[in-house]
Every structure is written in structure tokens, then in C-alpha cells.
Amino acid sequence: MFDNILIYFVLIPLIMLAGVALSQNIKQIRAVAVTGSLALTALSVYLLVDYLALRAAGETAPMLYTGSWQWFAPLNINLAVGVDGISIAMLILSSIILLTGSFASWTIAQPKAFFLWLILLSTGVFGFFITIDLFAMFMFYEVALIPMYLLIGVWGSGKKNYSAMKLTLMLMGGSAFLMLSLIGIYYNSGLFSWNIVEIAQDGNISHSWQMFLFPMAFVGFGVLGAMFPFHTWSPDGHASAPTAVSMLHAGVLMKLGGYGCFRVAIYLMPQAANELAWIFLILTGISVVYGAFSACVQTDLKYINAYSSVSHCGLVLFAILMLNTTAMTGAIMQMLSHGLMTALFFALIGMIYGRTHTRDVREMGGLMKIMPYLAVCYVIAGMASLGLPGLSGFVAEMTIFIGSFEQGMIDFLHGHGSLRLVFTIIACCSIVITAVYILRVVGKLLLGPVQDDHHRQLTDATWWERTATATLIICVAAIGCFPNFFESLIKFTFSPDIFKVLGMIQ
């Protein structure tokens, strides 16, 4: 069991949990958190390099590093692990955000309990990305959800009780649909297997069952991906959460939604995905535009960013539903790009809030003069968000729109209606709206006159804050400048015998 590299993605967080539990003071807790997340980052980068090398050497299996250990044997439930390029991208994202999140919560109150819950949450996240067994996946998914309640409820701000409860109940509501769908897949695939790869290859879920189970699975994960009209937990939840939790939640947890929609709903039930895509295209199209518009009228920095997340995550689901390789590549890029960028945003907002004790845009101004480092970082994050070439947002959105336009044209020319085309055009508008709210905030918050004279005494970023933000900015820029390797990351996930969708549609 321990010769499989993937198992360490769960073991290291568990060791970290024990380490934090045994720590005596805040220094030890910080040391454990930073060492552990550095180890995870190193491990995931090593995995990436090794994965690319294996692929270059001619591995064509859909999942590598697979392993399977019996768990609930009579029900065929195994602890099966395996990764492909998409999972590896998500693992890197999660470990970087855990690392920077640890730096961002350097001076948190009650550090021990906080880090325990935070690391438990990341255990769930890592576990979710490495497993290919539906049961284990679902279990890790719920493990990642429940710590949010206490993290927001205890360490949050504003109307934290309301937000924490709303977030937990809505996400658990999603997982209720999901559970039904997963058990349904188990009984109806004809294999009595929970293994995703097996079901995708040999499973045969009848058309009518697909039409019944697919919407449940998609909605179940879609709630976490902030799909309209199930997005309402997101603004409240993000606004009330403490910094590191907002980072992890917007950066990683919302990606669980997108990843799950692809890996479970579409991967296993491609026929229904193809036929029912239009419903969800409309819904996600609405999230993209509606989220962006909502962000324009908010005055609380966190609300602005939370609605912006709704818009960007909507784009991920939107791209996945295009069911073609280009858009899918874009979706993976967007997941990474949005994860890093929004984590950067939330980290910066937390840092600014920690100094000014307000998140209201109207009460702040001229921060560029007072805290130039943070302000410059904020501008970079903003530019990434509105899609400036050279940063990650540009490559991701560009790829998505090219892919979806491509698919829209194919649909249109084959007489399958113009829905994809129309919604691609509508979704494109969101870029412009994004520019409106980003530039509005940058202008008001960073430039212009100083609104409050007390703000003049504030200090710029400390070293741990600089570490956190610099790491994220480097990653954002790296994706923007070297997007090529993504193609090789997701290439084999789409080999035709696995991904029946492509074979079917094109």
C-alpha cells in the first residue's frame, strides 16, 4: 500500500493533523503547517514531472499510479486511487493554496483548532482528487465540506452564523442528490463496480437511467461549482469566512464541483450529458453573466470577489458542457487560473481588511501610496481576472471561448440548433463586465485620494504575507506564459476509447 505515491497525499495531511494536535505553541503549529504543505507541493510537482515523463515514454492508460485496496469487499467498495493530468493539476493547485493559506493565517486566533480543521478540510480535498472509487470520492467530498461550518462559524466575520449554516446546508443538499446518483450508477452500470475507469470503459448504463441520474450528479456537484440558481451560498460564505478559508474554498473547493461534474457526471453518463447539456448550458450561462453583473454593484470587497468567482466558476462548468477537447482544456486552465487568482484576491483582501478593518470600497482610497506592495499585487490579480495576456486568465478564457465557439459552429452547421453559439456570445460579454468591476475597484481602492486619515499610519506587507502573495503571483504568471504543457496533461484523458463523448459527438 505504501509503495503507491498517491497514498501520501492523504497520509501527509493525517501526519500534519497529528503534528498540530501535539504542538505546544503557535511556532510549532506554523512549522508543521508550512513543512507539511511544502512537502505536499514538492510531492505534487514531482508527480507532474514524473507523469509527463511516463507519458513521453508511451504510457497510454487513462489513469496512472493506480492502486486498489479492498475496503467493503462484499459491496465491491475499494480504496482505489489513480490520477490523470487533470487530477495532477488539481493536486498542485490544492497544495499551493494550502501552503499560501498557511502563510495567510500566520496570526490567527486559536491557531490549534483552526489548523486542525483546515488540514482536515485539505485531507478531504486531496483524497477527493486521488481516488477513482465513487464511494471513497464521495466520502472525501463530504469530509471536505463539514469543517467549513466551524471554520466560518468560529473564525468568520460579519453574519457568520447565517452564512456558515447556509453554506453547509446547501452543499450538503447537493451531496444528497449526489449520493442517490452514485448508488444509482453502482446498481445500473451492469458491473456492480464503484471504479470510475471500469464503469467508463465497460459499464453500460441504460439511456433512461442516464437521463435520471445525470441531472442529479451534475446538480450535486454543480452546487459546489456555484451554478445558478444554487450559487447563493457562495457570496455569503466567502464574505464571512476567514482569509485562508476563503482562499481554500474559492480556490480549491469550488473546483471540486467542476472536477466532479466532469469526472463523474459527464465521464460516466455521456449520452445524457449530450442530450441534457442545453439545460445546464443555460444555467451556467446565466451564472457567468449574472455573477459578473452582481459583482459590479457590490461595495464589499469580498462580495465583489465572491460574485466574480460565481462568474468564473460558471465558466468552468460552461466549458465542460461544450464536450470538446479545446473547451475542456480551457476549463482545466480556468480551474487552475481561477483557483490561484481568487486565492490571491482573498489573501490580499484579508490583508487589507486586517489593516483597515473595513472591506467597504467606499471607505477606502489611495492605498497605493500607503501600502504599495499589496496594492501592486491587487492590480496584478485584477489584471489576471480580466484576462490580460501574459497572465493566466487570458489563456484560460481564450481557450474556452475558442472551444465553445468551435462546438457552437459545429452544432449550428449540423442543424443542432444555435444554443451553444448564442450562449458563447453571451458568455463572452462577461469579459467586458469583468473589466468594469475590476477597474472600478482598482480605481477607487488603490488610486484616488486617501479617504480616511487613520489609514496613513498603516504598514505594508510583512514577510509571510509577501511570501504568500509572491508565490501565487509567480504561479499565475507561469501559467500565463507557458500554457503549452496543459495540452499534454489532458491529452490521454481524451483518448477515444475512454471518453465516449468525443467519439459520439464529433
Partner 1 sequence: MDYSQFLAMKQEIALLVVFLLVFLYDTFMPKKAQNATAAFTTVVFAIFTVLSIADMFCPCSTADATAFAGMYVTGPVIMAIKNILNIGVLIVLIQSIKWANGEFMIVRRGEFYELLLVTLFGMYLMISARHFLLFLIGLESASLPLAAMVAFDKKRYESHEAAVKYLLTAVFSSAVFMMGLSFVYGLAGSLYFSDINLMIFGENSALAVVALAFVIAGVGFKLSLVPFHLWTADVYQGAPTSATSYLSVISKGATAFAFLVVMVQAFGMFYEEVWQWMLYALIILTITVGNLFAIRQKNLKRFLAFSSISQAGYIMLGVIAFNATGVASLMYYVLVYIFSNLAAFGVIGAIENATGKVDMDDYNGLSTTNPRLSFCMMLAMFSLAGIPPFAGFFSKFFIFAGALQQGTIAIYILVLIALINTIVSLYYYLLVVKAMYIKTEEPCQIPTFRSACTERLGLWISVAGILVLGVGAVFYNYLLEMTTSLGLFGSIM
Binding residues for partner 1 (CB under 8 A): 71-75, 77, 135, 139-140, 142-143, 146, 149-150, 153-154, 160-161, 164-165, 168-169, 172-173, 176-177, 179-180, 183-184, 186-188, 212
User: What is the spatial distance between Cα 119 and Cα 350, in angstroms, rounded to a whole number?
Assistant: 20
Q: How far is the CB of 172 from partner 1 (least distance, A)?
A: 5
Q: How many CB atoms lie within 10 A of CB 71?
A: 15
Q: How far is the CB of 164 from partner 1 (least distance, A)?
A: 8
Contact criterion met (CB below 8 Å) for 104 and 244: yes
Residue linked to cell 492508460:
61
Q: How far is the CB of 121 from partner 1 (least distance, A)?
A: 13
**Is 26 or 154 the residue whose CB approaches partner 1 more closely?**
154
Q: How far is the CB of 34 from partner 1 (least distance, A)?
A: 25
**Is 213 or 348 the residue whose CB approaches partner 1 more closely?**
213
Burial (CB count within 10 angstroms: exposed 0-12, middle 13-18, buried 19+), residue 389? exposed
445 residue type, one letter:
L
**Is 161 or 488 the residue whose CB approaches partner 1 more closely?**
161
Contact criterion met (CB below 8 Å) for 484 and 413: no
**Is 69 or 482 the residue whose CB approaches partner 1 more closely?**
69
**Is 140 or 437 the residue whose CB approaches partner 1 more closely?**
140
Q: How far is the CB of 150 from partner 1 (least distance, A)?
A: 6
What secondary structure, in 3-state letters, does 304-364 show? HHHHHHHHHHHHHHHHHCCCCHHHHHHHHHHHHHHHHHHHHHHHHHHHHHHHHCCCEHHHC
**Is 25 or 60 the residue whose CB approaches partner 1 more closely?**
25
Residue linked to cell 501559467:
479
Contact criterion met (CB below 8 Å) for 304 and 385: no
Q: How far is the CB of 154 from partner 1 (least distance, A)?
A: 6
Q: How far is the CB of 22 from partner 1 (least distance, A)?
A: 16
Contact criterion met (CB below 8 Å) for 119 and 20: yes
**Is 54 or 75 the residue whose CB approaches partner 1 more closely?**
75
